[in-house]
Amino acid sequence: MNPRSTAHVDTFARDHLPPPDEWPELRFDLPELRYPDRLNCAAELLHGPPGDHPAFRTPDGGVLTYGELRARVDRLAHLLTTDLGVVPGNRVLLRGPTTPWLAACWLAVLKAGAVAVTVLAQQRPHELATVCALAEVRHALCDVRSLDDLVKAEVPDLRIAAFGGDSRDDLLRRPASDGPFDAVPTAADDVALIAFTSGTTGKPKGCMHFHRDVLAIADTFSRHVLKPVADDVFAGSPPLGFTFGLGGLVVFPLRAGASALLLEQARPSQLLAAIGEHRVSVLFTAPTAYRAMLAEADGHDLSSLRRCVSAGENLPAATWQAWHDRTGLRIINGIGATELLHIFISAADDDIRPGATGVPVPGWQARVQDADGVPLPDGQPGLLAVRGPVGCRYLADPRQRDYVRDGWNVTGDTYVRDPDGYFRYVARADDMIISAGYNIAGPEVEDALLRHPDVVEAAVVGRPDEARGQVVVAYTVLKEGAGRDAEALRAFVKAELAPYKCPREIVFLDALPRTATGKLQRFRLRTGAGAGDEQG
């Protein structure tokens, strides 16, 4: 990496990349992955389709064409650089429901050469403050409906521009140039976005991805496995704060010149209705949603669907088969990671094996290895390790050395490789809880519980659940004399963290199970041993 090649005036992101010897080996084996040195991914995604072709659709029947999207993005980019004072390399927080305006803001931030930090609309002030502190965020574009918690986060020197409201200061009402905006000529290896993911220690990890990475996920998984066409209509449940949603609802459709239906609310019942009404052809959601949609599918027209993608948690063979029996469609299973931006093992059409994740996506390599990095023979479970055109680069985080080992990205998943090259999921290798496609760090929930004045100790684990994969169970010890009110404690956690992180079950104990040296015995909590007190 040549520091002189950067277009960033604010070099914070580049300065906080891991040392070069901690990077994974990057591979650009496919011709389409050999990008020019100067590359602005937003300009590339917006380039090409005719101006009157639909780009984004809304549930009320609204359509934003590519021509309108380009004009909207350019106007926002002008506002960012002239009115808000954003310079290339500044981190800009993006927050709000999944709408064309949020997507346009994301594209404008990148076209202006800044770094997008998209967060969930559900996240609470404490979580937002942590993200802003880690990424040194000083600018934010926020849907007016998601403004309150961002204000309550009290981020020092944060300049917030709200959009979608009636105020004269609203971003969409401010005067700005309607002329074209020349994209900042960023380097292919300039940081385009920082995606935050929960860590098993509770401290979120910022995953830094380059402009070329954004195109690489489209030019590998989307191009070679999904194979979209310009007439496709994408839709799905993951928000743009998740890289699964960012790829499936923005990057992939725009790269293919297709369109996406952006749903602010995307529960299974709403997805089913939207598929028929808007003739959705490509669907992105988690196994939990596919199971729920099966129960409600009667009376809904699913004939427009041709591609169904599942990720976020393991797809059971029974769910795959039930969906195929009901719809005739083969779900494309896949495993991805925020660290690697999107899906890197998958299979489609006749190559699908129910119960298996698939094979390495073209452009990627994968293997199963032991804790020392030694490759294991087929049929023996071990740690999944992958490498390709995108790799893990944590924002100034010592956990980089845990994720990247000897040039391979070690995902924390236990897998088995079959003799014919297919990879099968076994389990998570760490303490991460995956519930309905959400990654939940037990220690983060423990920290929230411990902020309650009556909680003395807390331990959070995942319990297997047929519908959601896992559910969060919290074991707590209260101070003497405190009332065991599970609902009150749950309400407290919901005020501290996004609701999906809140424990489904709270178990009150007199003491947590520990070894003679005081080490918490989580395995006893997972199996229910030593956890027999009052529940709520």
pLDDT of residue 271: 97
Q: What is the DSSP string of 213-254?
A: HHHHHIIIIIIIII---TT-EEEES--TTSHHHHIIIIIHHH
pLDDT of residue 299: 93
pLDDT of residue 411: 95
- Mean pLDDT, the chain, as a whole number? 94
Domain 3-425 and domain 432-527, same fold? Reply is no
Q: For 134-148, 179-193, 504-518, which range has the lowest pLDDT when averaged over its residues?
A: 504-518
Q: What integer is the mean pLDDT of 320-349?
A: 97
Q: How far apart are CA 50 and CA 66, in angstroms?
A: 7
Q: Per-residue confidence at 3, pLDDT binned at 50, 70, 90?
A: low
In tens, the pLDDT along 314-333 reads 888 989 999 999 999 999 99
pLDDT of residue 200: 46
- Residue 388 pLDDT > 80: yes
- Residue 336 pLDDT > 70: yes
May I ask the CATH architecture of the domain 432-527?
2-Layer Sandwich (3.30)
In tens, the pLDDT along 71-99 reads 999 999 999 999 999 999 999 999 999 99
pLDDT of residue 339: 97
- Residue 523 pLDDT > 90: no
**Topology given in CATH for the domain delimited by 3-425:** Rossmann fold (3.40.50)
Q: Nearest CA to 290 among 302, 277, 304, 278? A: 302
| Domain ranges for the chain | 3-425, 432-527
Q: Per-residue confidence at 516, pLDDT binned at 50, 70, 90?
A: low
User: Which position has the higher pLDDT, 432 or 220?
Assistant: 220
**pTM greater than the 0.75 cutoff:** yes
pLDDT of residue 526: 85
- Residue 220 pLDDT > 80: yes
User: Which position has the higher pLDDT, 533 or 502?
Assistant: 502
pLDDT of residue 532: 55
